[in-house]
Chains A and B, each alone.
Chain A
Amino acid sequence: MQDKKHSPVWTFMALAILALFIIFVVYPLALILYKSVIDPKSGALTFENFIRFFTRKYYTNTLLNSFKVTTVVTLICAFLGLVMAYIIKQYNIKGSSALNIAIVLSYLSPPFIGAYSWIQLLGRKGLFTKAINSAFHTQFEGIYGFWGIVLVFSLQSFPLVYMYVSGALENLDNSLNEAAESLGANNFQRVSGIILPLVLPTVLASSLLVFMRVFSDFGTPMLIGEGYRTYPVVLYNQFMGEVTNDSNFAAALCVIIMLITLIFFFLQRWIAARHSYSMTALKPMQPRKLRTLPNILCHLFVYLVVLLAMLPQLTVIVTSFLKESTPGIFTNEFSLVNYRTIFSKNPRVIPNTYIFGLCAIFLVIFFGVLIAYLAIRRKSFITETVDTLTMLPYIIPGSVLGICFLYAFAKAPLVLTGTAAIIIIALTVRRMPYTIRSSTAIISQISPSIEEAAISLGSGEVKAFWDVTLPMMMPGVISGAIMSWVTVISELSSSIMLYRASTQTLTVSVYTEVIRDCYGNAAAYSTVLTVTSVLSMLLFFKLTGKRSMSV
């Protein structure tokens, strides 16, 4: 395709997109990097911020804590996700479609909602805590700190491994199983010698995604960590000025966490590229029958895990309809007071969430499809640069992106602080890499000759794209858009940095209400969010006819 001149329209569009990315991704990142190594008074190059971080035990400990908690969570998630996916795909589990939706749903809800629900259940005054203490006459103080964080993150993130491994198992042709059996392998030999090695790259790659996600999340450790300080908590506090307000030091903290996620990003890509087997199943695995006892045990295990994963959501929905006697203590009295409060308190929250979400989705799809198309079909130096740049947001933790935006767009020429635009752009930038990747996959499946046929029949290049390629992409793009929508409306970490009262969204409201101990309001906000997600997902399943989804 290099030998032929393409319409200049494509080059113009590629340049325009490149400019936008330089303004909204490269410039804020460069600014953070610059701030982290510059002395604000003298303007000289300095590594003082980094030295300060790595020489003080207070800071290095938080890094160590983060690594510890994230490693344990990742191991648990890898195990749970693998076992759950294997059982559900390999055996006849009753209600597996509903289980699938429940698992995905528990992944899509913001992690900190899990944290605060578990405080309701297993915290100091928690429902379960009281029950345990009265039953066993113990002085159980509730689950806070390390194990609290591990509990919440594990139940919330194993679905990621589950979804990826389920996909890999679906692509595993049953004849591989049959070949192993015909060669004398028993069940154990078959699973350990064939299935496990084949899905292991997927387990590793998805586990690293879990690692990156858990490592940079601050809402959960903030709520349930108490004395157990993790890196993102310190980053947030440093920035929000609770301790000191040293923006250059905060910038250095941002740079350090990005370097860590960058390393894990490359590790993840290396494993995914090197150790994956391209498989397509002609005949997928058939569910096998189990004997009675193993069958009961499998059902018990699967349902218990899903129940635990869904428990935060259920708690939130139930408590949203209960009246609080004092903040944090719910009575058994049914009431709609929480909903009345949230609708009257800040009526803009729900419209904000929907409008920001829709705007972001529109931008994400427009640019995502265009960039994917340019990168595959109109390869040039510019489009390849754009393609690489779009992967940057993938490694930027949400809170860091929020901080970057605050620094970059507080002063002229581009003042966006406090506007809806800055939140919409942040959401768009964060979601962009995922949409580009899925669009790339969709375009790769469409033969270029289809577009060439349109051109040979007399339409121009842009018209051919519009008339032929775009409509063919649409079904895939729309199902991707629904997934983006669900993730965008539950985004917290960058919105929390960028919001004002006028641009408050549902997730931000849940968070702020929890911090203020207004659990009733938080539960009501959270329920609105959950209902939206569930409806969107049902729409997704209805439209695509699929039974599983990838995020």
Chain B
Amino acid sequence: MGVSIEIDNVTKAYQNNIVIEGLSATINPGEFFTLLGPSGCGKTTLLRMIIGFNSIEAGEIRVDGKRVNDIPTNKRNMGMVFQNYAVFPHMNVRDNVSYGLKNRHMGKNERNQKADEMLRLVKIDQYANRMPAQLSGGQQQRVALARAIVIEPDVLLMDEPLSNLDAKLRVEMRNVIKRIQREIGITTVYVTHDQEEALAISDRIAVMYNGVIQQIGTPKYIYQRPANEFVSGFIGLSNFIDASYKDGVIDFGSFYREPLKLSEEAGSEVRVAIRPEEFVIHKNGEPGIPATIISSVFLGMTLHYFASLDNGQEVEIVVPSDLSDILPDGQRISLGVVPEKINVFDRKTKNTLIPKGA
């Protein structure tokens, strides 16, 4: 079974430019761990520190309890799948997959046998003798995956492996990757900027921004209880509405209040993050935030409304579609919220005020 990776207080700097400072995280044995964040957040830098393409300026990384800082990449026994596949163009599929075994001085018959086994696992065994130029992007990515795992690495690293594929293939391949990772139980670190992909594939996600891990948690927890405004806005969609808080009650103005217990440090100035599906639309003047429908989009399973609040702010609302009529543009409504689902942040620190375990 897999091994653990401990990232302990590591720092990455290029000359005087510090990209990552004092970052720590622990990845559990056999876990599918995703580094998620916008481009330039340091997620690829961190991944390349784990495999050794980037040096570590301070702190240490331990794999299975052993410090790897000074072990060269080719001795770390980690498999990597690259964004542009990096399939060797001068070798056929089987030779690509058995290349790492050859470097380990495995006999020809044995390595071909292992390579073919792996090609069956990723379901491209019929292309074993083809050259990479004759393969589609998805097939090349399967070769890259087979090549990385056939060496039975301690750790599998993937750097945005699906970003060059089209949307449909992306969904297909992420299921392939997840299935194979489950089957061989290898500790996997996966880098992506696509939050949907991260939610679908990961056991745990670390959301990164500006070289700092903002939050680590299961996909469900990160979506439902984001640690701060950045995570709330980056994962899924959130409408941010300013409100005030006093004695266990959130006041949205316009005589609309909802009782909600926040943590001790909560002041009076708060910002409420409401996901589109956490709104309730009232048509008959029930208490809520007054708004006007601007437009609507019917997507079959769901119905999306765009509405403007009285202060001019635009919000998005999603409701499951039903048989009733779609509200016309210009309709006055009032918006209630589902209090147990919404998140509340401190307007200054931007950190969550939802008590732990809520």
List residues of A whose CB falls within 8 A of some B CB: 173, 175-176, 178-186, 189, 193-194, 197-198, 277-279, 282
Contacts and interface: CB of A to CB of B under 8 A. Distances in A.
B99 to A, nearest CB: 6
A180 B99 contact: yes
| A-B residue pairs, 6 tightest by C-beta | A183-B100, A175-B86, A277-B89, A184-B103, A179-B86, A182-B80
A277 B104 contact: no
Contact of B89 (A180, A279, A282): A279
B288 interface: no
A182 B80 CA distance: 6
A183 B89 contact: no
Contact of A184 (B51, B53, B74): B74
Given A182-B78, A182-B79, A277-B90, 4 more contacts: A178-B86, A180-B99, A183-B74, A184-B151
Contacts of A197: 90
Contact of B133 (A184, A185, A277): A277
Interface residues of B, number: 28
Interface string B41-53: 0000000000101
A183 B103 contact: yes
Contact of A179 (B72, B88, B104): B88
A76 B77 CA distance: 39
B32 to A, nearest CB: 19
Contacts of A181: 53, 72-74
A197 B82 CA distance: 21
B147 interface: yes
A176 B80 CA distance: 11
A165 to B, nearest CB: 15
Contact of B74 (A175, A186, A279): A186
A123 B88 CA distance: 49
Chain A interface mostly:
helix
A149 to B, nearest CB: 35
Interface in B304-323: none
B84 interface: yes
A184 B231 CA distance: 37
Interface of B: 51, 53, 72-80, 82-84, 86, 88-90, 99-100, 103-104, 133, 144, 147-148, 151, 157
A185 B77 CA distance: 11
Which residue of B51, B53, B75, B76 has the most chain A CB atoms within 10 A of its CB atom? B53
B89 A182 contact: no
Nearest to A275: B90
A463 B270 CA distance: 64
B4 to A, nearest CB: 20
Contacts of B90: 197-198, 277
Contacts of A282: 83-84
18 contacts: A173-B86, A175-B84, A176-B86, A178-B73, A178-B82, A178-B86, A179-B86, A179-B88, A180-B99, A181-B53, A182-B73, A182-B157, A183-B74, A183-B148, A184-B75, A184-B77, A184-B151, A185-B100
A183 B99 contact: yes
A280 to B, nearest CB: 9
A198 B74 CA distance: 21
Given A184-B100, A198-B90, A277-B90, A179 B133 contact: no
Contacts of B86: 173, 175-176, 178-179
B151 A183 contact: yes
Contacts of B77: 184
Given A183-B103, A184-B100, A185-B103, A178 B80 contact: yes
A173 B88 CA distance: 10
Given A198-B90, A277-B133, A182 B51 contact: yes
Contacts of B78: 182
A193 to B, nearest CB: 7
Nearest to B80: A182
A362 B84 CA distance: 43
Contacts of B51: 182
A197 B95 CA distance: 14
A179 B82 CA distance: 8
Contacts of B147: 179, 183
A282 B147 CA distance: 21
Contacts of A278: 89, 133
B148 A182 contact: yes
A421 to B, nearest CB: 48
B89 A178 contact: no
Contacts of A183: 74, 79, 99-100, 103, 147-148, 151
Nearest to A197: B90
